[in-house]
Amino acid sequence: MPLTLEGAAMPTPDLFEQESNALERAMAARDNPALSGPQLREALGDLVDHFERLMRDSRRLIRRSDREERELNVLNEELHRLASQLEFKAKHDSLTGAYNRGAIFERATVHLNRGALALVVLDIDFFKSINDSYGHPSGDAVICEVVNRLRSAVTSEADIGRVGGEEFSILLPGMSFQAALRQAERMRQAIACQPFDCLPGRMVTASFGVSWTAEHGAFGDAYARADEALFEAKRGGRNQVCAARAVGR
């Protein structure tokens, strides 16, 4: 119950006071045998007027409520859309749409908690010279095309991540070491098989390292072994796949 400035309690206002009074007058008229026909019609007319006003107000409130509900639904959908966008941006590389470094490492840990994991790491060969010769926009186009070709070469279960400028990691959960080596070779061929439209007359290649880790293994160790194999591929002439020491097979 609201209080006045002096602290005294005030009665709660009755939103339907006028309608209640009209109803009481109509009931009193109904129960009064001494009233004439015109008096009864007057009491009934008063009640009808208040009832019609109440109906108009109710319809107006319902329309307003429906409109506000629609607006709230639109706002709610927009909030969900923005939340989804923020979640996507937090986990994906803005240039390619592949997973970013943090997300790919997180997913690798999840995969290893469920089973074995094959890991492929790759690095675009001589990427600095591409940027220097053709400019950074062309370099960005090469990176996007590499990701597109990787997507066309891997299975649907694979996770592709961009972990550095021209460095990528591909997670192959549940795949054997030999199958992962064959998968990496398909990736290598997908990149090197034909020129990139953004680099007329120049081929693009990549070097690959592959590791395999049993369930509950450490992803840091898996990554270190795959990275070591990648450097072996680069030292061996690039554009090739090298296998890391396997653990727990």
DSSP per-residue string spanning 83-119: HHHHHHHHHB-TTT-SB-HHHHHHHHHHHHHHS-EEE
Give catalytic residues, as residue numbers: 166
Which residue in 181, 172, 166, 141 sits closest to 154, CA to CA? 172
Q: Kindly tell me the sign of the dihedral angle through the C-alpha atoms of 231, 235, 239, 240.
A: negative
Residues 6 or more apart whose CB falls under 8 angstroms from that of 103 comprise 90, 91, 92, 161
- Cα 220 from chain centre: 27
Query: φ and ψ at 10, to 5 degrees?
Result: -115, 145
| Beta pairing, strands 117-124 & 159-162 | unpaired
How far apart CA 194 and CA 38 sit, in angstroms, is 99
Residues 6 or more apart whose CB falls under 8 angstroms from that of 205 comprise 124, 125, 188, 191, 192, 238, 239
Q: Kindly tell me the sign of the dihedral angle through the C-alpha atoms of 101, 107, 110, 112.
A: negative
